[in-house]
Chain A
Amino acid sequence: MLDLVRDVLDKQLLDIDGRRFGKVDGIVLDIRADGAPRVLALEVGAATRLGRLPHWLARPLAWWRRRTTTTRIPREAVLAVGRDLRVAIDATTTPAWRVEAWLSRLFAHIPGGR
């Protein structure tokens, strides 16, 4: 029996190749007909992070929230929950890797950046 907030939320995510690509910023639940909640997916992204902040803090950053894309990881992709959370996806194909990929391409033009 897993405690979602204690054991899953804010855990380090590792993709199929062991890349650190973020923390579990949010958990998407589905309420079934009998009222029991079920985990649908995990979320990574600035919008999810901003949604967890107090209103007065998140509001001035609303423009940022609209410009980002959230990565959803279906529960079926979760491989193991330990110190880190391993998932069966390639992070480089997700929006969560967009900034990292953009910076990497930029760095290729700077000596020593490769």
Chain B
Amino acid sequence: MSVAVDRRFVKKLLNVSLGIVTSFGGFLEAGSIASSIQAGAEYGYSLLWVLLLGTICLIALIEMSGRLAAVSHHTIASAMRERFGLPFFLLPLLGVAAVSVLTLAAEVGGVCMALQLATGVGFQWWAVPVMVVIWGLLWWGSFGLVEQGVSLLGLVTVAFLVAAVRLRPAVGELASGLLPSTAPYDSGRYWFLAVSILGATLTPYLFYFYSAGAVEDEWDADDVPANRFVATFGMSFGATLAAAVLVVAALVFTRGARVESYDQAAPLLVDALGAWGFPLFVAALGIACFGAALEVSLALAYMIAQGFGWNWGENARPRDAARFSVSYTLALVAATALVVVGLDPLGVTNLAMALNAASLPLAVVPFLILMNDPEYVGDRPNGFLANALVLGVAVLACVLALVSLPLDLVGG
């Protein structure tokens, strides 16, 4: 009896640790790397507070999607379709799907840029091979394994943290960056980068993806405390990496330097890590974007299949989940096409993150309604603080995006 309980406890402990490690290793992606580098290079530490705000909001959202899955056994997409009906559901579905395809293009582009930096062969040439590898991993249905493998490889992104520590940032300046401030100069660009950081931290695909995983792992109400723990620590540790990228960029680049391409960003780690700096940057960029590309492809297919009631699953064989497999295939083809035609990967990333921010209310408001509906979350609804925080940040991100995106496009 007690042996059985102990074994269950150990298993849970292992799952929690694995959850934290994979969120840590899988946190960085094209958007967070790009926005942190640009923010650090142009404004030093003064945008750190936006990253902090975004992370607190992300923890709340991830915790919510896990809680929804644990209590109702619904994914976000299926609960939304059921609760709001088909016509309304199409609105968040199409909005989030369109932005996620662009995000996927940013991730595929990031992998291709890493390969270009490593080999000198132009990024466009890598797009199709990269797509085939991502597609193959999903098609052969081994994602459960691959996800953990890629997240463990993603621990190479710890290089950013090591670099940040070795550069000995002034603690007082760091701390003051965590306090909200307004732009020291060029406020249009400042708020555009704030939007990029919020969009990169709060990409909607993340919480749709998380809820699908929780339903697949058959979480129940007993898992709610563990979920809160994983969400809080996994996302905090992950965000520390994004902060480290920002800090390194702040210390390495001349203040105000515009980083307009990944080539400019490539020497980021050289000051701190010497000869290892360049290969580590390339590996971190490539692996982080590759892991994210797998997740975004699946998240897109999840949303569509769950919304229309088709079979789905990260390890489902294509013949058992045919329309699901077609969904990620088409998403990958569309995203890869954007890379093949030669759109600049960093430009696509910036645009994708701004649109992620702009689409937040669409993705988040119906979700918040679900999280306050006893039909779905029973006696575990959101508290006032979580509702206010998430709604506030989503509206702020959207308004800032709608104002600063046109300004940046005109200015740039």
| Residue in A19, A54, A83, A100 whose CB lies within 8 Å of B87 | A54
Closest partner residue, chain A, to B90 (CB atom): A53
Q: Is B326 an interface residue (CB 8 A)?
A: yes
Q: How far is the CA of A52 from the CA of B325 in the complex (A)?
A: 27
Contact pattern, A 1-35, Cβ under 8 Å of B = 1, otherwise 0: 00001100111110000011111010000000000
- B82 touching A113, Cβ below 8 Å: no
Stretch of B6-14, B50-58, B315-323 lying at the A interface: B315-323
- B325 touching A107, Cβ below 8 Å: yes
Shortest distance from the beta carbon of A76 to any chain B beta carbon, whole Å: 21
Shortest distance from the beta carbon of A83 to any chain B beta carbon, whole Å: 6
Report 26 cross-chain contacts, Cβ distance below 8 Å, ordered by A residue.
A9-B85, A10-B85, A10-B89, A19-B311, A20-B310, A21-B309, A22-B309, A22-B310, A23-B82, A23-B86, A23-B309, A25-B86, A49-B86, A52-B86, A99-B322, A99-B323, A100-B310, A100-B311, A103-B322, A103-B323, A104-B319, A107-B322, A107-B325, A112-B140, A113-B318, A114-B317
Contact pattern, B 68-93, Cβ under 8 Å of A = 1, otherwise 0: 00001110001001100111011000
Q: How far is the CA of A63 from the CA of B136 in the complex (A)?
A: 35
Shortest distance from the beta carbon of A104 to any chain B beta carbon, whole Å: 5
Q: How far is the CA of A14 from the CA of B73 in the complex (A)?
A: 15
- A22 touching B317, Cβ below 8 Å: no
* Chain B residues positioned under 8 Å from A103 (CB to CB): 322-323, 325-326
Q: Is A108 an interface residue (CB 8 A)?
A: yes
- Give A residues with C-beta under 8 Å from B: 5-6, 9-13, 19-23, 25, 49, 52-54, 83, 99-100, 103-104, 107-108, 110, 112-114
| Residue in B74, B319, B323 whose CB lies within 8 Å of A113 | B319
Which B57-72 residues sit within 8 Å CB-CB of chain A? 72
* Chain B residues positioned under 8 Å from A20 (CB to CB): 309-312
Q: Which 3 A-B residue pairings sit nearest by Cβ, starting from the closest?
A: A103-B322, A23-B309, A22-B309
- Give B residues with C-beta under 8 Å from A: 72-74, 78, 81-82, 85-87, 89-90, 136, 139-141, 308-312, 317-319, 322-323, 325-326, 375
* Chain A residues positioned under 8 Å from B318 (CB to CB): 107, 110, 112-114
Shortest distance from the beta carbon of A14 to any chain B beta carbon, whole Å: 9
Q: How far is the CA of A9 from the CA of B309 in the complex (A)?
A: 12
- B319 touching A83, Cβ below 8 Å: no
* Chain A residues positioned under 8 Å from B310 (CB to CB): 20-22, 100
- In addition to A22-B310, A23-B309, 16 A-B residue pairs with Cβ atoms within 8 Å of each other are A5-B85, A6-B375, A9-B85, A10-B86, A20-B310, A20-B311, A20-B312, A23-B81, A100-B310, A103-B323, A103-B326, A107-B318, A112-B140, A113-B319, A114-B318, A114-B319
Q: How far is the CA of A112 from the CA of B136 in the complex (A)?
A: 9
| Residue in B74, B89, B322 whose CB lies within 8 Å of A100 | B322
Q: How far is the CA of A5 from the CA of B136 in the complex (A)?
A: 41
* Chain A residues positioned under 8 Å from B82 (CB to CB): 10-12, 23
Shortest distance from the beta carbon of A7 to any chain B beta carbon, whole Å: 9
Shortest distance from the beta carbon of B401 to any chain A beta carbon, whole Å: 26
Closest partner residue, chain A, to B74 (CB atom): A83
* Chain B residues positioned under 8 Å from A53 (CB to CB): 86-87, 90
* Chain A residues positioned under 8 Å from B375 (CB to CB): 6
